[in-house]
Amino acid sequence: MTKDNHTRLLPWITTPLLALALLLTWHVYVTSSGISGFILPTPIKVWHSYLDELRGAALWRHTWSTLYETLVGFAWATAIGLGLGVLIGRWRWLETTLNPFIVASQVIPKVALVPLFVVWFGFGPASKVLLAATLAFFPILSNTVLGVKSVDLGHRDVMVALNAPRWKVFTRLELPSALPYLLTGMEVGVVFAIIGAVVGEYLGGSAGLGYMLIAKMNAFDTAALFAIIIHLTLLGFVFYWLMSSARRLLIPWHESVLIDRANP
């Protein structure tokens, strides 16, 4: 086996070993310290609790609520962030005009907006969708603006010299140039969208995984709390993997994808 093959296989060995070491340390600490299982259950107890939750219908019903709020909020954030980012990246005066409002919308603690959204849109999914979109919006917008500004000036001059219409300049030059940046913003934004949806459910909801966390906390079921956190972590991994796959599919020519293919 060559050195390159050893390097490629190494993470598949070291990552599971590290995870196993962390779980073993957790188990040994709980069993040897005499800490109450209510405060910190063992990994085995958390695993059994997670299996019990997977067998029930409640976890899947609440998972669907969180997925719906996350995906709809993320879709709105992507559409608005992409459209506004292209406009701001093209026209400097628009960036100067809107930048104070955009920054102000981001420095406000998002948790403080939850009561206001609940008053406006109620305890249903609309307030959670809005919070998810609010959190996901800024990284998508900022990366789109950066992508549009990063268009090679020489290429733009060529398009202008050829008297290309604006829509062709956008589809043939600006969008392909901005796409790597946009996808990076979307990778961050989808994680923020999950956080927004769960926080909204946590503070003002009657469905979703955030609401389920509160219910388990009120029932003093710490093992189930850990189980739902694990479930949310797995959902986050799935969303991140989907965005990484979209990157490989949409920009196979980009250096980041070529490097990953050369070093899988």
Task: With cut-offs at 50, 70 and 90, classify the pLDDT of residue 263.
Answer: low
Residue 256: pLDDT band with limits 50, 70, 90: low
What pLDDT, on the 0 to 100 scale, is given for residue 183? 86
The pLDDT tens digits for 180-235 are 888 888 888 888 899 888 888 887 777 888 889 888 888 888 888 999 999 999 98
Q: How many CB atoms lie within 10 A of CB 162?
A: 9
Per the CB < 8 A criterion, the answer to whether 78 and 189 are in contact is yes
**pLDDT of amino acid 218:** 84
For residue 104, is pLDDT > 80? no
Asked whether residue 102 is assigned to any structural domain, the reply reads: yes
Q: What share of the chain is helix, strand, coil (3-state, %, to 5)?
A: 85, 0, 15
Look at residue 229 and tell me if it is in a domain: yes
Kindly report the backbone phi and psi dihedral angles of residue 220, in degrees, each rounded to the nearest multiple of 5, phi listed first.
55, 35
Determine the longest span between alpha carbons in the chain, in angstroms.
76
Using alpha carbons, list the distances in angstroms from residue 88 to 56, 95, 104, 172, 185. Answer: 48, 5, 17, 19, 16
Mean pLDDT, the chain, whole residue set: 81
Residue 11 lies in a domain: no
| pLDDT recorded at residue 11 | 67
Helix extents (H) in 34-56: 43-55
Arithmetic mean of pLDDT, 138-154: 80
The boundaries of the domain holding residue 80 are: 64-250
Does residue 163 surpass a pLDDT of 90?
no
Structure tokens at 138: 């800024």
Report if residue 140 sits inside a domain.
Answer: yes
> Would you say residue 111 lies in a domain?
yes
Does residue 21 belong to any structural domain of this protein? no
pLDDT bin (cut points 50, 70, 90) of residue 262 is low
Whether 148 and 215 have beta carbons less than 8 Å apart is answered as no
117 burial level (CB within 10 Å; 0-12, 13-18, 19+)? buried
Residue 6's pLDDT band (cuts 50, 70, 90): low
Output the domain CATH number for residue 84. 1.10.3720.10
Q: What is the pTM of this model?
A: 0.80
Q: 71: which residues sit within 8 A by CB, 6+ positions away? A: 193
pLDDT of residue 121: 80
Number of domains in the chain: 1
pLDDT at position 150 is: 76
Res 79: pLDDT: 92
On whether residue 27 sits in a domain, the answer given is no
The per-type count for the chain, helices as H runs and strands as E runs, is: 12, 0
Using DSSP, state whether 40 is helix, strand or coil. coil
Structure tokens at 192: 């923020």
* Domain-located, residue 217: yes
pLDDT tens, position by position, 227-246: 999 999 998 888 888 888 88
